Amino acid sequence: MTLRIGHGFDVHRFGTGDYLMIGGVRIPFAHGFVAHSDGDVLLHAISDALLGACALGDIGQHFPDTDPAWAGADSRELLRQVVELIIARGYRVGNLDATLIAQLPKMSPYIETMITHIAEDLQVSRTAVNVKATTTEGLGFTGRGEGVAAEAVVLLQAGEGHGN
Ligand SMILES: Nc1ccn([C@@H]2O[C@H](COP(=O)(O)O)[C@@H](O)[C@H]2O)c(=O)n1
Ligand SMILES: C[C@@]1(CO)OP(=O)(O)OP(=O)(O)OC[C@H]1O
């Protein structure tokens, strides 16, 4: 069986607004994200991990932040487009593990819904998806409450006679 691994990392800073989109969940908050799209840092890291696993660059190349087409874009839609690229190359997601790095907001009430969304968009069962969160104990830009970072690692499996 052909296996490929990919890693993604993204950061969005806080700006004006009263909610954050993370994992396709609208989380009420004292700030919004500064971004061209909806700023869904978790879905961006996952999209980059998928593209990385297939040596397809990154989401900035596929959905440039200079293109008005992606202004305010729903990052679940971007993720689904990336998944179609992966499937077209003969791969499917084996499993995904992701970490949100943020002092605030508290992610735990939202994580199960994030997993539901991600599993739907990746076309896998929920048991193939893990999302977790950590603070940085007050250290660094996340610890100072300046934004949120996300990391994702994905394993892809090729179907019989597929994958290159
Ligand atoms: N933004 C966050 C950060 C962490 N959590 C959860 O809190 C627990 C403790 O986090 P540590 O920083 O001590 O690793 C952990 O179980 C996280 O899931 C959170 O919900 N939101
Ligand atoms: C998602 C895209 C889409 O325009 O814009 P942003 O929301 O700014 O997100 P980022 O992770 O900085 O880069 C990828 C972009 O192309």
Question: For the domain that residue 98 is a member of, what is the CATH number?
Answer: 3.30.1330.50
CA gap 129, 154 in Å, rounded: 9
For the CA of 135, the closest atom of ligand 1 is: 12
Write the pLDDT tens digit of every residue in 12-52.
999 999 999 999 999 999 999 999 999 999 999 999 999 99
At residue 160, the pLDDT reads 62
Ligand nearest to the CA of 136: 1
Assess whether pLDDT exceeds 70 at residue 161: no
Write the pLDDT tens digit of every residue in 61-106.
999 999 999 999 999 999 999 999 999 999 999 999 999 999 999 9
Q: Which two tokens stand for residue 10?
A: 């993204």
CA gap 86, 101 in Å, rounded: 27
Taking each helix axis from N to C terminus, what angle separates 75-88 and 111-122, rounded to the nearest 10 degrees? 40
62 CA from centroid of ligand 2 (Å): 10
Please indicate, yes or no, if residue 163 is contained in any of the structural domains. Answer: no
At residue 91, the pLDDT reads 97
Please indicate, yes or no, if residue 77 is contained in any of the structural domains. Answer: yes
Task: Enter the ipTM.
Answer: 0.93
Assess whether pLDDT exceeds 80 at residue 159: no
Count of domains forming the chain:
1
Which residues are annotated as part of the binding site? 10-12, 36-37, 44, 58-60, 63-67, 134-137, 141, 144
Please indicate, yes or no, if residue 120 is contained in any of the structural domains. Answer: yes
DSSP 155: E
At residue 84, the pLDDT reads 98
* CB distance 130 to 111 below 8 Å: no
Please indicate, yes or no, if residue 164 is contained in any of the structural domains. Answer: no
Of 78, 87, 69, nearest to 163 by C-alpha is 87
Please indicate, yes or no, if residue 91 is contained in any of the structural domains. Answer: yes
Please indicate, yes or no, if residue 64 is contained in any of the structural domains. Answer: yes
Q: What are the residues facing 149 on neighbouring strands? A: 11, 101
Question: Which pairing describes strands 19-22 and 25-28: parallel, antiparallel, or unpaired?
Answer: antiparallel
Segments in the chain forming alpha helices (H): 41-53, 59-62, 75-88, 111-122, 140-143
At residue 37, the pLDDT reads 98
At residue 150, the pLDDT reads 99
Write the pLDDT tens digit of every residue in 118-154.
999 999 999 999 999 999 999 999 999 999 999 999 9
Please indicate, yes or no, if residue 10 is contained in any of the structural domains. Answer: yes
Of 152, 25, 151, nearest to 96 by C-alpha is 152
Domain, as residue range, for 33 = 3-158
CA gap 86, 56 in Å, rounded: 9
CA gap 75, 86 in Å, rounded: 17
Please indicate, yes or no, if residue 104 is contained in any of the structural domains. Answer: yes
